[in-house]
Amino acid sequence: MSEPEVKPEVMRISWGPQHPMSGQTRILIDVDGEVVRRIIADIGFTHRGIEKILENRTFIQGIVPIERMVMADTANIALGYVQAVEEALGIEVPERAKWIRSLICEMGRINSHLYAFGLQVECTGYFPAVFLWTTVDREVLLDLFEKLTGARWSYSFFIPGGVRADLPEGFRDEVKRAVKYLRRRFQDYWDAMVENPLFEMRNRGVGVLSREDAIRLGATGPVLRGSGVDMDVRKDEPYAAYGDLDFKVITEKEGDCLARLKVRFHEIEQSLNIMEQIADEIPGGPVRTKVPLFPRSKPGVEALSRVETSRGELGVHIFTDGGLKPYRVKINSPTLRNMYVFERLAELDRVLVADLPVVLYSIDPWYLDCDR
Amino acid sequence: MDVVTLIWLYILGLVRWLLKEAPLQVINFIRSLPTLIPELLKWLWDFIWFNFKPLAQIIVIPGLAFILLFAMIAVWFERKFLARAMLRIGPYYCGKRSGWLQVIADFLKLFFKEFVIPDDAEKALFLAAPVLLPTIPALAITLIPFDSNWVLFDAGGLSLPVFLAIAGLAPVIPIFAGWAANNKYTIIGSFRTAYLYVSGEIPLVICAAASALLAGSLDLVEIVEAQRPLWFAIPQFIGFLVFFVGLILEAERTPFDVPTAETELVIGWRTEFSGVLFGFTMMAEYVSFLGWTLLFIVLYLGGYLGPSLLGVPLYDHIFWMLLKLAVVVVIVVLIRTVYPRLRLDQTLRLGWNYLMPLSLLNLFLTLILKWGLMI
């Protein structure tokens, strides 16, 4: 990346990758005393060429590399790809498989939001306990994943034509038990962290993104909904079983870091409701239709799928040329769009050096998602 | 005679002395050894015998052993307490019981680690800063009375101002350290330290002045003795609270650990220190915390006085001082588990907008109280 020139009145700091909170990316900041004048995100620092890798894999092999985009939220990312493949190849999915997909996606969303919540709380300077608590609470979900898919972390569970396996015996009761446990824990978090006056002081009115700016800059996911825009692909273009499920789209008006945190927090509650609904009302039937191991595509087909991942809207665009592999896969990732918003926030609002990690983690960045 | 001749003469004289006089003197010295050694031992014994108390004070309390032991126990307790909250295994269970082995393991790790001096650093200052850091608060601790006649350095009725003067030197060293390391994070961190000390120290000094006014003396022993009927925490309640907040601020502990904010500035002005140098800066934090806490106890919690039951004070002893120290340390560590870090501007606003007017109000109320007592 070519570095823009430094003005004489500011000091340029390379914020990362050698920084406790930066993660594996590099962000350049121009600081004038305590005030951040300019943020330059080094987008492409962790580029791994996932789009190119997908061109060299068959349709089903492609599920594994695309999951590596966001490890905390593999279900939603893989669903975006699998749905695009199904559309390109014209594969029908049974009803029960769609419900199981929704269940796993919501569990993945909670998993990812827990991670984001823990990191943002840690950024405000809590000693790292909250992050570790959320990590421990995640175990409940990981155990469920293990029981269902055989893997705790990157479960390539969705395949074109359905899901790999049916729910194991007694799984629905375990889901309900996990929901009950997590509800109790989230009440604790709300009381201890979000209602703590000092925590509010650090988050309220920090990194404010107005409704107009959020739309203009193309923010997505909780960042967009935190600025008061009612947009969620699950409601707008229902996929999987979301058309039959009853949930609300959470929005907050303020558009600051606290609003984004609250959006995530309430979204977790909605996800828990969805998990309960699915456990109660899941229809019977088969979980997959037969699809050949190496499905051959028709030439010149274009397929686009939109999925609401935990970070925002993911678009997967597949072109086929009639071979065993996709001709081109274009991924529009949510973190990339939010990183542009993050870069502009220093101009839109006064961001201090102390606010920088809070603002960064309030958009919930996942650099591998951003750079693909 | 010119200079060269003089130097030659001097060298010649030296050689002559070495050849002729020096052997004789060595032989004389060796001959007199049998009588000299018992004399030396006797002198040493007398020195220890007659200066037993000051020596014990220097070595045990409030000297080296006390400070080092306090730092170790405070680190151990804090880590164990936080580990309980953080669901961590190491500092909580390590060493079969109570995680004592973790402190020793960390100490050994820090001590034997290679320390890196950055190429662009101002080497002398960079190496001197970590050594000076714990020294200044440790000097201030010598003024604290641990009993009515247990004061290491008797400043002759001026111990409170001398304490404040010595403690006021403390922020200079982090600023030098941050500048010497020649790193952007350390520079920001050290300037944050400067801001923080200015906003925190003035209310502290005003509160201390109010206490001295109520006691009618600047001597810490007399301030403690004046608390025999009633600890100053009650007549000086506002000052008590302001001083408590101020001491957390001065010791740079959560929620005011702005200069060493890990999530923002790596670790502030300490970023470039590694190995044993970092260990010294860690110790300095605890020593400075110890100094201000001891002053807090002396000014408001009756120092070495025992709690008085029905007007009859219990036996005065250094034990009470240590007990009160433990209580305050536990409360401050508890605060760390509950609160996030404030921003620099919020900390300064707290210092100038709340602590400062409150401390002035406290001084004013003390004046009225004193005036009322005199009438």
Residue-wise pLDDT for A171-225, tens only, equals 888 899 999 999 998 888 888 888 888 888 888 888 888 899 889 988 898 999 9
Tokens of B270: 């300490």
Q: What is the pLDDT of residue B360?
A: 92
Query: Could you tell me what percent of chain B has a pLDDT over 70?
Result: 98
Evaluate whether ipTM surpasses 0.90. no
Decide: helix, strand or coil at residue A271.
helix
Cα B156 vs. chain centroid, distance in angstroms?
21
Averaged pLDDT for residues B340-361: 89
Q: What is the pLDDT of residue B227?
A: 83
CA distance B345 to B55: 46
Q: What is the pLDDT of residue B313?
A: 63
Count CB atoms within 10 A of the CB of residue A336.
21
Chain A residues interacting with chain B (CB cutoff of 8 angstroms): 11, 13, 18-21, 31, 34, 121-129, 132-133, 136, 196, 198-199, 201-202, 352-357
Candidates B188, B261, B340; nearest CB to A199 = B340
Residue that has been written with the tokens 């002759």 in this structure: B156
Candidates B86, B257, B346; nearest CB to A128 = B86
CA distance B133 to A235: 60
Residue-wise pLDDT for B246-296, tens only, equals 889 888 888 888 888 777 888 888 888 888 888 888 888 888 888 899 999
Averaged pLDDT for residues B110-125: 86
Query: What mean pLDDT, rounded, does chain B reach?
Result: 85
Write down the domain spans for chain A: 50-337
Averaged pLDDT for residues B307-311: 66
- Measure the CA angle with vertex B292, ends B287 and B296; round to 5°: 145
Look at residue B46 and tell me whether its pLDDT is greater than 70: yes
A131 neighbors A122 (Cβ within 8 angstroms): yes
What DSSP string describes B236-281? Answer: THHHHHHHHHHHHHHTT-TTS--TT-HHHHTTGGGTT--HHHHHHH
Averaged pLDDT for residues A319-336: 89
Look at residue B312 and tell me whether its pLDDT is greater than 70: no
CA distance B225 to B215: 8
Candidates A11, A126, A353; nearest CB to B264 = A353
Q: Closest chain B residue to A353 measured between Cα atoms? A: B264
Q: Tell me if A127 and B338 make a contact (CB, 8 A cut-off).
A: no
Q: Which residues of B touch A199 (CB under 8 A)?
A: 340
Residue-wise pLDDT for A40-79, tens only, equals 888 888 888 888 999 998 888 889 898 888 888 888 999 9
Averaged pLDDT for residues A119-123: 86
Look at residue A127 and tell me whether its pLDDT is greater than 70: no
Query: What mean pLDDT, rounded, does chain A reach?
Result: 87
Look at residue A304 and tell me whether its pLDDT is greater than 70: yes
Q: How far is A352 from chain B (nearest CA, A)?
A: 9
Averaged pLDDT for residues B78-93: 80
Q: What is the pLDDT of residue B311?
A: 62
CA distance A256 to A259: 5
Q: For the whole model, what pTM was predicted?
A: 0.82
Tokens of B6: 């003089």
Most B-contacting residue of A13, A126, A261 (CB-CB within 10 A), to test interface: A126
Fold category of A50-337 in CATH: Cytochrome-c3 Hydrogenase; chain B (1.10.645)
Which run of H or of E encompasses A165?
none
Count CB atoms within 10 A of the CB of residue B106.
18
Look at residue B24 and tell me whether its pLDDT is greater than 80: yes
- Which of A43, A13, A41 is closest to A27 using CA atoms? A41
Q: How far is B269 from chain A (nearest CA, A)?
A: 14
Averaged pLDDT for residues B175-197: 87
Q: What is the pLDDT of residue A317?
A: 92
Most B-contacting residue of A353, A360, A361 (CB-CB within 10 A), to test interface: A353
State the pLDDT confidence band at B309, using cuts at 50, 70 and 90. Answer: low
Candidates A127, A196, A356; nearest CB to B336 = A127
Q: Closest chain A residue to B344 measured between Cα atoms? A: A354
Q: What is the pLDDT of residue B310?
A: 62
Look at residue B198 and tell me whether its pLDDT is greater than 80: yes
A1 neighbors A46 (Cβ within 8 angstroms): no
Residue type present at position B116: V
Q: Tell me if B345 and A129 make a contact (CB, 8 A cut-off).
A: no
Q: What is the pLDDT of residue B283?
A: 86
Min mean pLDDT across A129-133, A134-138, A278-282, A311-315 is at A129-133
- Which of A353, A349, A332 is closest to A341 using CA atoms? A349
